[in-house]
Amino acid sequence: MSKSKRVIIEPVTRVEGHGKVSLLLDENNKVKQARFHVVEFRGFERFIQGRPYWEIPVLVQRLCGICPVSHHLAAAKAMDQIVGADKLTPTAEKMRRLMHYGQMFQSHALHFFHLCSPDLLFGFDADPKIRNVIGVAAKYPELAVQGVMMRKYGQEIIKATAGKKIHGTGAIPGGINKNLSIAERDVFLKDIKQMLDWSRSALKIAKDYTVENLEKLTPFASFDSNHLSLIRSDGAMDLYHGNLRAITADGKKIFDQVDYTNYLDYITEEVKSWSYMKFPFIKSLGPQNGWYRVGPLARINTCDFIDTPEAEAARKEFMAVTSGKPNNITMAYHWARMIETLHSIEKINELLNDKDLQGTDLVVKGKRRSEGIGLLEAPRGTLFHHYKINDDDQIVMANLIVSTTNNNEPFNRAVQKVAADHIDGVAEITEGLLNHIEVAIRAYDPCLSCATHAMGKMPLKVTLFDYQGNEIASKTKE
């Protein structure tokens, strides 16, 4: 081939699936039904069949390039039960927590600065050519740099605790395989004040935006829902470990302090013919009423308090907006996410000053079991890992409910609400509709890679069907 000819290299863009929305209209061209579809590739459970259990915390990271640490730790927690490690050493527990808060910090920073801030800073309906991170970089360069550096800080914590940025091996069944050296600790302490300051600034942006636009945001893509998360035994927010709590839209407890190894007694999943992604719901309420939200908004709503001072003060301000009742405003996810960002960096600061991180007692073991269940609060919500092994230590069953799957029904509700607000008698897909569906889905920070195990770009395709099921319009947003 001639060297002067320009070749077209189309790289594989991986990890995330694509979002497809179908809207069914009635005879009066009003929205009758909205569905958010994802394409699924369920090869993962098959992939790990027959693998020895100790490989799983490393293997599961291949499930998702977005939050591999969450899968790493949830699988490790499940394997703790397999090896009978009911209580980890202080060093192991705190190293894992540091890894987890590093993950939470970098993930939330990425979402806020890279994906959400353009919506907040330029408005939902701004030209997509400027409503992106490059637009933010041009108009608010300091903010964009902060986002990148916060993300980098969290990634470096992951590297120091997990051993590597990808395919980390830090968490092992029964503990951890390294501690944090004084030299590593001091690198992070050097920048901690800066990270705290930037987290406060980001929280202020999210809070001010929400409060100033409350009238517009309150109805946007919003609906009443149940909320679910892990909770510490004293009711505090705990992103790494706890028991399950579910509350109704007005704050009544559906269940509380449920040992998560009994999750199957409380949560089940419904299969719908039109979606590959399952629909989890609370058994006692049934599929119609038992669906729930997870993630930052749910966690702020379910907890009684946050055990770090600045995040707790921010939580109180957040809850005051709804007079102490659960906040069901979809766009409040952004504010809640930034409270968690501040909480995470406060926890990182606390942990870095804890000498247990330099301990050398790293692993415990007990009586072997044939089943393990590990849950934690991943950046996008509650993550369930459940495994069974045979006498040869091989995996024979794996069940994963990832955060984005937990939010499946809320996605559909959000799209339905936005579509119904836009399409009223005129069967057309406007740019405004596309933009607003995008903003609504983005509030949840979906990561369709886990939920769908699919490859490919993540365009948003909206298709409109008339009351007889005929396709009448379709638009794609790359």
Footprint of another protein on this chain (CB under 8 A)?
1, 3-16, 19, 41, 43-44, 46-47, 59, 62-63, 65-66, 68, 110-111, 113-115, 128-129, 131-134, 137-138, 141, 144-145, 147-149, 151-152, 155, 165-166, 438, 441-442, 445-447, 453, 455, 457-460, 477-478
For another protein, the closer of residues 168 and 174 by Cβ is: 168
Residue 464 CB, nearest distance to another protein (Å)? 18
User: What are the Cα distances from residue 220, in Å, to 134, 210, 332?
Assistant: 26, 12, 10
For another protein, the closer of residues 312 and 438 by Cβ is: 438
101: nearest Cα among 54, 167, 150: 150
Q: Say how far apart CA 136 and CA 429 lie, in whole Å.
A: 27
Q: Say how far apart CA 78 and CA 376 lie, in whole Å.
A: 10
For another protein, the closer of residues 154 and 290 by Cβ is: 154
| Tokens matching residue 146 | 């902060």
18 three-state secondary structure: coil
Phi, psi of 365, deg, nearest 5:
-140, 155
Residue 476 CB, nearest distance to another protein (Å)? 10
Residue 390 CB, nearest distance to another protein (Å)? 19
CB 224 within 8 Å of CB 252: no
**Is beta strand 19-25 parallel, antiparallel or unpaired with respect to 460-465?**
parallel
CB 413 within 8 Å of CB 421: no
For another protein, the closer of residues 47 and 467 by Cβ is: 47
Residue 1 CB, nearest distance to another protein (Å)? 5
Q: Say how far apart CA 395 and CA 409 lie, in whole Å.
A: 30
For another protein, the closer of residues 191 and 356 by Cβ is: 191
H/E stretch holding 93: helix 90-110
CB 120 within 8 Å of CB 205: yes
| Tokens matching residue 26 | 């009635």
Give every CB contact of residue 469 below 8 A, 6+ residues apart in sequence: 24
Q: Please report, as a single letter, which amino acid is at residue 35.
A: R
Residue 49 CB, nearest distance to another protein (Å)? 10
Residue 387 CB, nearest distance to another protein (Å)? 16
User: What are the Cα distances from residue 275, in Å, to 78, 117, 134, 412, 422?
Assistant: 28, 30, 34, 11, 24
Phi, psi of 138, deg, nearest 5:
-75, -40
229 three-state secondary structure: strand
For another protein, the closer of residues 296 and 446 by Cβ is: 446
Residue 325 CB, nearest distance to another protein (Å)? 29
Buried b (16+ CB within 10 A) or exposed e, 262-286: ebeebbbebeeeebbbbbbbbeeee
152 C-beta neighbours (distance < 10 Å), count: 13
For another protein, the closer of residues 108 and 245 by Cβ is: 108
For another protein, the closer of residues 102 and 290 by Cβ is: 102
For another protein, the closer of residues 349 and 404 by Cβ is: 404
Residue 415 CB, nearest distance to another protein (Å)? 13
Q: Please report, as a single letter, which amino acid is at residue 44.
A: F
For another protein, the closer of residues 55 and 270 by Cβ is: 55
For another protein, the closer of residues 258 and 277 by Cβ is: 277
Residue 19 CB, nearest distance to another protein (Å)? 7
| Tokens matching residue 341 | 């960002």
Residue 152 CB, nearest distance to another protein (Å)? 4
Residue 444 CB, nearest distance to another protein (Å)? 9
410 C-beta neighbours (distance < 10 Å), count: 26
